[in-house]
Amino acid sequence: MNIIVIIRQTPDTETKIKIGSQPNKIDPTGITWIINPYDEFAIEKALKIKEQIGTDGVETHCSVSLLACGPQRTEESIRQGLAMGADRAVFIKDDSLEYADPYVISKLLASELKNMQYDLLLSGKKLIDIESSQIPIFIAEELGLTHVSFVMKFTGIDAANKKITCDREAEGSHEIIEVSLPALITCDRGEDFPRYASITGIMKAKKKEIKEITVSKEEIEKFGQRTEIVSFDLPLSRKEAKIFEGEIPEKVSALVKALREEAKVI
Amino acid sequence: MSGFSLITDQDIIKGFCTDSSNYPGHAEALIRPKSTAEVSEILKEANSKKIPVTAIGNRSSLTGSAAAEGGWILDTSQMTKIIEINQGEKFALAEPGMMLSDFKKTILDEGLFYAPDPTSEKECFFGGSIATNASGSRTFKYGSTKKYVRALEVVLASGEILNIRRLNIEKNTFGYLPFQNMVDIFVGSEGTLGIITKAEVELLVKPENFFGGMAFFKTLSECLDFVVNVRKNLINQTPTITPRAVELFDHLGLDIIRPDSPFKIPANAKAAIFFEQEYTSDSNNGCEALLNNWLSFLESNKALVDDTIIAEQAKQQEELRRLRHKVPSSLFEEGGKYTKEGGGKISTDWSVPINRIHEIIDFAKKLKEEARIEDPVIYGHIGNGHPHYNFISKNAEQKKQILEVVHKTCKRVITLGGTIAAEHGIGKIKKDFMKYQYPESIIKSMKSLKQSLDPNNILAPGNIF
Ligand SMILES: Cc1cc2nc3c(=O)[nH]c(=O)nc-3n(C[C@H](O)[C@H](O)[C@H](O)COP(=O)(O)OP(=O)(O)OC[C@H]3O[C@@H](n4cnc5c(N)ncnc54)[C@H](O)[C@@H]3O)c2cc1C
């Protein structure tokens, strides 16, 4: 089974975003870049499938590849994904892709995927920076693939018959969906903690292949942006709220303690 | 009556009478001064009436030092200003009442670094950390709080405001050595000699970057060998690895963090080391070179290398520190369940020179087996030869048995050249141990220092002596 995880890089969730000199750009200084957290969940899910397939005796082959597009700095996140345990990566590298819109990115990724072999495409349910869920779904459309979104976990993998069962949280309920492969699935956290890279994993990752693809300006322009970021605004700052957990008596005494000891109002 | 107000409502005061040791304190009033002048006025009045005054920070003390034995509680939480952050000379001047982690964050946001990092940094004050000479995991590289205190404003029992500064010279023969740097008299004095109302501390350039990690071992003994070798390696002219933190989890410590650990703790691991390593963009000290060195070091020291995890991202690093904190905080909760029956948590704070670590751990194990008490959780600052032993006693009888073992261990610690209280101080619950460490004549001279600075014994009575 070949799994490809489509990943993007986003600023760390702790980053204090500053708007750049142009209102439609953010100031990149001091930003720590990370794998988009939902894409990291997708990597974790892929690696779990690989571990499971390795042990079920029916099919032993499973490979996990990463596919990313973005500016040079994206390579660091790709290495992190490889250190977690992915086998190889394909990287569409171009600095002009920093602000490319989801449509252009999905076109680029889809055109690369047409040259790759896969049974299962995974990605995060959304990008945390621009709050967009479009890219993977555009890709599914472009490749004519079935897609299931917001999947919490996989409850069954039938590698021999090329089927996968997804558990997807819907309003107050769970939908269990069985799909035939190939398919594209976008991932939620579920119960997954993305694994930490092991020291040996990091060392091995340095030797793993990252196939770099360069694209010409014309190719990018050919797809034509469909959206444009006109400007960014920072949200208005809000006072922190504190929520007390537990039974009512516990909550009340915690509240009184906080009013006394932290807020010092009583 | 004077310009400060006393809160005398016992319902309010009750909330401020103990600390993280659960030592039962009591007081007649609570005062929350906002300035040095007010502190001075309070002490003048208290001194004239011989009323005890116990200063409190955030009461995270583990020795009862912040639990008042009568009189007034002087709460420093309203004095929270950072008066100056000096980029050029790299120091900060601040009042005592800010949470240490908030203070450190403000410094970090300015591109500078305040090194002391007690595990309790999110629950102790800047001032409290100075009054206890706190240390933490990064003490391995950076030393304890004392090293960073450049100057203090202290209000003495008489109300006199003292401004003292550490001498910035290499040579000095003027007076008794312990008095030459007057600042050191007050750092770690647990509220007994004066009240710290301002402190100027040295800041460092923010380390460029670091990674955290956790290495697992099949036995505690192999884990200790690793630590001893880390220290040996550091004395080399060109040490291959230079961790800033080397912290231990024994198998019971691992059991505490296992349920919500975000990474796999191998089933055959009986001990682990949490470490942090700084690196720079310079290739010799770069991330890749250091990771390579760590890998060979771990391999040659019998670590379970394939299970050794590395935390490169900030959230992962924070998570490792959270797990480290979880050990003492969950034991504190566990111990709290048995206080009614006369039991509770008993924690040791001794440390020994690193080359004696095997010896003392073997000795403590033998004592424990002979006494047939339950296994303690062993964790903490092993890089400094400073593991904490936390015992949970379920009743008074068990507590007595455990304390016997602890006393015997502490006596041995002294013969091995160690200390009984490496970071938590003496407070009210470690006073009995003083006689093991110091000759009676020296204890007397410490008492006379206290007597001369605080003749009416109003400051934090019950602490230390
Ligand atoms: C979970 C946990 C982990 C811990 N880990 C560590 C650790 O890693 N390293 C370590 O060193 N300690 C540790 N401690 C102990 C404790 O947190 C430290 O001693 C801390 O520095 C105390 O600060 P505080 O503000 O809570 O002071 P308090 O507990 O309120 O007071 C401690 C002493 O300082 C005196 N004092 C406070 N403020 C002043 C002032 N302004 N002037 C004069 N005297 C004052 C008090 O009178 C008292 O004697 C830990 C505690 C807990 C609960």
Q: Which atom of ligand 1 is nearest to the CA of B123?
A: 26
The pair of structure tokens assigned to A78 is 């790709």
How many beta-carbon contacts under 8 Å exist across A and B?
59
Burial category of B168 from C-beta neighbours within 10 Å (exposed 0-12, middle 13-18, buried 19 and up): exposed
Say yes or no to pLDDT of B285 above 60: yes
Q: Residues with beta carbon inside 6 Å of ligand 1?
A: B 19-20, 54-62, 65-66, 76, 96, 118-120, 124-125, 127-129, 131-132, 134-136, 190-191, 195-196, 328-329, 423-424, 460, 463
Render pLDDT for A120-138 as a digit per residue (tens, 0 to 9): 999 999 999 888 999 999 9
pLDDT value of residue A55: 64
**Nearest CA-CA distance, residue B212 and chain A, Å:** 11
Cβ within 8 Å, pair B15-A80: no
* SS3 per residue for chain A: CEEEEEECEEECCCCCCCECCCCCCECCCCCCEEECHHHHHHHHHHHHHHHHHHHCCCCCCCEEEEEEEECCCHHHHHHHHHHHCCCEEEEEECHHHHHCCHHHHHHHHHHHHCCCCCCEEEEECCECCCCECHHHHHHHHHHCCEEEEEEEEEEEEECCCCEEEEEEEECCEEEEEEEECCEEEEECCCCCCCCCEEHHHHHHHHHCCEEEEECCHHHHHHHCCCCCCCCCCCCCCCCCCCCCCCCHHHHHHHHHHHHHHCCCCC
Pocket-testing residue among B19, B61, B196, ligand 1, by greatest number of atoms within 8 A of Cβ: B61
Cβ–Cβ contact B84 with A under 8 A: no
Pocket-testing residue among B120, B248, B334, B382, ligand 1, by greatest number of atoms within 8 A of Cβ: B120
Pick the CATH number of B10-77 from 3.40.50.620, 3.40.640.10, 3.30.43.10, 3.40.190.10: 3.30.43.10
Closest to A193 (Cβ–Cβ): which among B12, B15, B262?
B262
**A257 to each of A11, A12, A20, A252, B16, how far by Cα in Å?**
37, 34, 43, 9, 10
Are the folds of B10-77 and B337-441 the same?
Answer: no
Lowest mean pLDDT among A157-161, B310-314, B427-431: A157-161
Which residues on chain A are in Cβ contact (under 8 Å) with B307? 198
Domain B209-323 has CATH 2.60.40.420: no
Render pLDDT for A183-197 as a digit per residue (tens, 0 to 9): 999 999 998 889 999
Kindly report the CATH class assigned to B81-170+178-205.
alpha beta
What is the rounded average pLDDT of the residues B316-330?
94
Cβ within 8 Å, pair B15-A196: no
In chain A, list all ranges with CATH 3.40.50.620.
2-234
From ligand 1's centre to the CA of B356, what distance in Å? 28
Cβ within 8 Å, pair B313-A34: yes
Cβ within 8 Å, pair A196-B77: no
Percentage above 90 pLDDT, chain B: 94
Say yes or no to pLDDT of A213 above 60: yes
Cβ–Cβ contact A257 with B under 8 A: yes
Closest to B310 (Cβ–Cβ): which among A13, A196, A260?
A196
Cβ within 8 Å, pair A196-B316: yes
Cβ–Cβ contact B289 with A under 8 A: no
Give the architecture-level CATH label for domain B337-441: 2-Layer Sandwich (3.30)
For B57, nearest residue in chain A (alpha carbons): A261
For B294, nearest residue in chain A (alpha carbons): A199
Residues 6+ apart with CB under 8 A from B327: B249, B253, B256, B257, B377, B379, B380, B390
Q: Which atom of ligand 1 is nearest to the CA of B134?
A: 11
For all residues of chain A together, what is the average pLDDT?
91
What is the rounded average pLDDT of the residues B294-321?
95
- Residue identified by tokens 């939620």 is A188
Domains of chain B, by residue range, sit at 10-77, 81-170+178-205, 209-323, 337-441
Cβ within 8 Å, pair B306-A206: no
The pair of structure tokens assigned to A155 is 């409850």
Percentage above 90 pLDDT, chain A: 61
Closest to B262 (Cβ–Cβ): which among A34, A196, A261?
A196
Pick the CATH number of A2-234 from 3.40.50.970, 3.40.50.12780, 1.25.40.80, 3.40.50.620: 3.40.50.620
Name the band, by pLDDT with cuts 50, 70 and 90, for residue B1. Answer: very low
**B64 to each of A93, B118, B388, B460, how far by Cα in Å?**
60, 17, 17, 11
What is the rounded average pLDDT of the residues A92-114?
91
For all residues of chain B together, what is the average pLDDT?
95
Name the band, by pLDDT with cuts 50, 70 and 90, for residue B178. Answer: confident
Closest to B263 (Cβ–Cβ): which among A195, A200, A260?
A195
For B319, nearest residue in chain A (alpha carbons): A196
Closest to A199 (Cβ–Cβ): which among B15, B32, B295?
B295
First-residue to last-residue Cα distance in chain B? 32
Cβ within 8 Å, pair B15-A261: yes
Entry pTM: 0.88
From ligand 1's centre to the CA of A67, what distance in Å? 50
Mutation target to probe the A interface, by most A beta carbons within 10 A, among B211, B258, B299, B309 is: B309
From ligand 1's centre to the CA of B71, what distance in Å? 20
From ligand 1's centre to the CA of B58, what distance in Å? 7
Cβ within 8 Å, pair A203-B311: no
pLDDT value of residue B81: 97
Render pLDDT for B56-83 as a digit per residue (tens, 0 to 9): 999 999 999 999 999 999 999 999 999 9
Which positions 52-91 of A are in contact with B (Cβ < 8 Å)? 80
Q: Name the phi and psi angles at B432, rounded to 5.
A: -60, -20
